[in-house]
Amino acid sequence: MIRKKVVVIGGGFAGIQLIRKLDKKLFDVLLIDKHNHHMFQPLFYQVATSQIEPSTISFPLRNIFKSKKDVQIRMARFQGIDREKKQVMTHIGNFEYDYLVLAHGCKTNFFGNTELEQNALTLKTTYDAIKIRNHIIRAYEKAIIAPEDKKDRYNNLIIVGAGPTGVELAGAFADIKRKILPKDYPGIDFSTYNIILVEGSKSSLINMSENAQQASMKYLQGMGVNVITNVVLKNYDGQTATLSNGQTIKTGTVIWAAGVTGNRTEGLPETAKGPGNRIRVDRYNKVSGCDDIFAIGDIALMETPKYPKGHPQVANVAINQAKLLAKNLKALETGKVIYDFEYVDMGSMATIGNYKAVVDLPFIKFKGYPAWLVWMLLHLMLILSVRNKLIVFINWAWKFITQDTSLRLILTPDKDDMAM
């Protein structure tokens, strides 16, 4: 039997899981990604706040698939699809496919505000997390020597978007402010350091239960985070943040965690283009108007009776879509029945600083220390390698015992060390 060529765009949760589950007797796989590594996005905030090293949550793709002789990897920028020739176009050349699987996810959505895009920090890649870490620590170094009329630039940290990423960042920075930074920087009065979380809706974690919303607001405010709700950030020029309520805040740091949009995909039919640049797919994850192209994970928009606006853009959806698609592709090749995708929501969770978290499960909702333990266990289970699970666990244990991590390094070229 001649094996079919499956080209997978993107080495995120969906792409990795699909390749692991594809039948190597039936398929040869080509994975294309602009990065050479898989990134464990749920813990980016811990890299950004100097709690773990980036290498512990970044996994080289070639190492992941080193034992799979049926998998080839190309580091390339995906540019589009030529459906007539059945080719994927990249900046290093074109690649033919029998089946194409789009799993290239989403990027930060600035809603057309180019000035904001140029000046705000984001948290979508390992590099972004390192950039935030460098930027924040540089700000502390600058704050020591800044004249009084310039201190607001370094004393105000704004995080936009109070979903899980924004809440987790705010909570982590609040912990560092209280327990670590006063020891590192005794010359700074951290009582004047403001962590400001801006949210356009009525509460933090608006997509979780009322219990989670109330608990997260209480935790954040108790940790000294200034949570501003029902307000959006209108603009940020690198010096001043302007809010929709007319308030202006002097700051050199705005972290944007307020939304995503699908990565552009050239070459698909008009029927496949959905809201937020997501790709419309049927219950088998087949792209609308195509017979041999599929989309899974955050980029896929599958409208079902239970999820009329598409599934939540979370890892569990991506992983389960990938598993089913691997089975369905095998079924297509062997003449067997293929199955609809039906997502069973196992719940959601978020952590808010040390020992505080909220968990929404279908059968129970809880918060506090028990929720934090569940959050830790789940994330350790999801990390790819046993070695990295152990390293992250040791880091967490050390932090638990010492209330410190000693990872506050500025790693930039010499010419950038004092820029800000």
Which amino acid appears at position 207 of this protein?
N
Same-domain pairing of 220 and 129: yes
Same-domain pairing of 252 and 264: no
Is 409's pLDDT higher than 70? no
pLDDT, position 162: 96
Parent domain of 286: 4-108+260-334
Same-domain pairing of 128 and 92: no
pLDDT, position 340: 96
Is 9's pLDDT higher than 80? yes
Q: What whole-number distance in Å separates Cα of residue 59 and Cα of residue 72?
A: 16
Domain-embedded: residue 343: no
- Cα 321 versus chain centre, distance: 18
pLDDT, position 151: 83
Same-domain pairing of 10 and 25: yes
Domain-embedded: residue 308: yes
Domain-embedded: residue 418: no
Domain-embedded: residue 266: yes
Structure confidence by residue, pLDDT tens digits, 299-317: 999 999 999 999 999 999 9
Same-domain pairing of 117 and 244: yes
Domains contained in the chain, number? 2
Same-domain pairing of 306 and 324: yes
Domain-embedded: residue 122: yes
pLDDT, position 392: 85
Across the chain, mean pLDDT equals 92
Report pTM.
0.91
Q: Which of 236, 258, 280 is the last residue of a domain?
A: 258
Q: Which of 297, 316, 334 is the last residue of a domain?
A: 334
Q: Which of 258, 284, 318 is the last residue of a domain?
A: 258
Residues 6+ apart with CB under 8 A from 329: 6, 22, 26, 27, 99
Structure confidence by residue, pLDDT tens digits, 264-288: 899 999 999 999 999 999 999 999 9
Is 214's pLDDT higher than 80? yes
